[in-house]
Amino acid sequence: MSDLLEVRDLTIGFPAGEAPLLAADRVAFKVKAGSTVGLVGESGCGKSVTLRSLLGMVPYPGEVLGGEILWEGEDLVGGSKKRLGELRGAEISMIFQDPTSCLNPVFTIGDQMIETLQKRAGMGKKEARKRAIELLDRVGVPSPEQRLRSYPHQFSGGMRQRVMIAIAISARPKLLLADEPTTALDVTTQEQILALLLEAQQENGMAIVLVSHDLGVIAETCDEVIVMYAGRMLEAGYALPVMRTPRHPYTHGLIEAMPSLEVREGVPPAPIPGQPPNLASLPPGCPFQPRCQFARDECASIPVTLDRDLAEHGTACPFVEATQ
């Protein structure tokens, strides 16, 4: 499979006094056609801002300070608004965490879907309406022809997320960016939403970058996984080895804290002690050291960069033997 997307040393900062706060620091990964890459970590670790940067949507006053975002070889960093506008929805689509904030409350679902299809897929109004009905039916919205006349507030949270998926895949994009698409949904609806994404992927051959704080979701859906903390990549590799034999204490802690991944009978999940760090006062060296049970004096001076041995299963912890 060829690389659709390659992110090289992406650095995103927000102004804060003399030096910017780095929400993403030298993030690098590749996405191949038809594959699924997961970004995982606690809230505030840089997952969502990394995802948004791929379409030039870093929240103001943040900005990309360095690195490259190569879309089929074309660097999008510093690209024109016109070019990014051409890509959004047509070649690269995005599903946001909160569908309520993305659907316009004063327009019907049908109006919003038809407009998207006319703009992104070049359809006439009649053809777009027919396609909208097909899409709603495909994502499991009952009575799709009637529901085109409904407004967003008349849908449940799970149904609004289905509508967002229908809109996102309507133009058959090459890449789908999914930012916590199952957050705040019940377990059954979560499973249905994930199944819809994977079904659309198999049908259209699109790639997916999936952001989640839930390792269970990542393990179920992703080919590769990137573990982020304080804007840094602490571990990366194929999903199965990362889940089975984590090489960074932070990844190990995330797995131990997940009830859905707990396999030892009678052993309750163990939350990671402490809180995610303030980006304005990161410790020197490894940012995870204040919460790490294996921390040692040398952790204050180590570079936070991945090694790439063990068949591309990289870790930023040089004391990996401590977690084994």
Q: Which of 115, 138, 172 is the last residue of a domain?
A: 172
Asked whether residue 146 falls in the same domain as residue 10, the answer is: no
pLDDT in tens, 117-143: 999 888 999 999 999 999 999 898 999
Contact 73, 261 (CB under 8 A): no
Q: Are residues 219 and 314 in the same domain?
A: yes
Neighbours of 199 (CB within 10 A): 13
Count of domains for the chain: 2
Query: Does residue 296 fall inside a structural domain?
Result: no
CA distance 208 to 230: 23
> Higher pLDDT residue, 324 or 152?
152
Same-domain check for residues 206 and 153: no
User: What distance in Å separates the CA atoms of residue 213 and residue 314, rounded to the nearest whole number?
Assistant: 20
In a domain, 288, yes or no: no
Nearest to 209 by CA among 23, 4, 22, 58: 4
| Domain stop point among 129, 147, 172 | 172
Supply the pLDDT for residue 310.
45
> Model confidence at 261, in pLDDT bands (50, 70, 90)?
very low
- Give me the CATH number covering residue 210: 3.40.50.300
Residue 158 sits in the same domain as residue 197: no
Mean pLDDT of 187-215: 89
Single residue among 130, 150, 172 that ends a domain in this structure:
172
Separation of alpha carbons 32 and 17, rounded Å: 39
Are residues 9 and 126 both part of a single domain? Answer: no
Stated pTM of the model: 0.91
Instruction: Find the domain containing 135 and state its range.
Output: 102-172
- Give a yes or no: residue 96 inside a domain: no
The answer to whether residues 324 and 204 belong to one domain is: yes
Look up tokens 């870093």; give the residue: 58
91 pLDDT higher than 60? yes
Give the whole-angstrom CA distance, residue 40 versus residue 250: 11
Name which of 266, 273, 227, 269 is nearest 246 in CA terms. 227
Residues in the chain: 324
Q: Annotate 181-247 with three-state secondary structure.
A: CCCCCCHHHHHHHHHHHHHHHHHHCCEEEEEECCHHHHHHHCCEEEEEECCEEEEEEEHHHHHHCCC
pLDDT at 168 over 60: yes
Residues 21-51 have pLDDT tens digits of 999 999 999 999 999 999 999 999 999 999 9
| 6 within a domain of the structure (yes/no) | yes
Shared domain for 42 and 127, answered yes or no, is no
> By the 8 A CB rule, do 66 and 11 touch?
yes
Q: Which two tokens stand for residue 65?
A: 């300070």
Determine the Cα–Cα distance for residues 39 and 42; give it in Å rounded to an integer: 10
If asked whether residues 7 and 149 sit together in one domain, one would say no
Same-domain status, 215 and 321: yes
Residue 216 included in any domain? yes
Burial class (CB in 10 A: 0-12, 13-18, 19+), 203: exposed
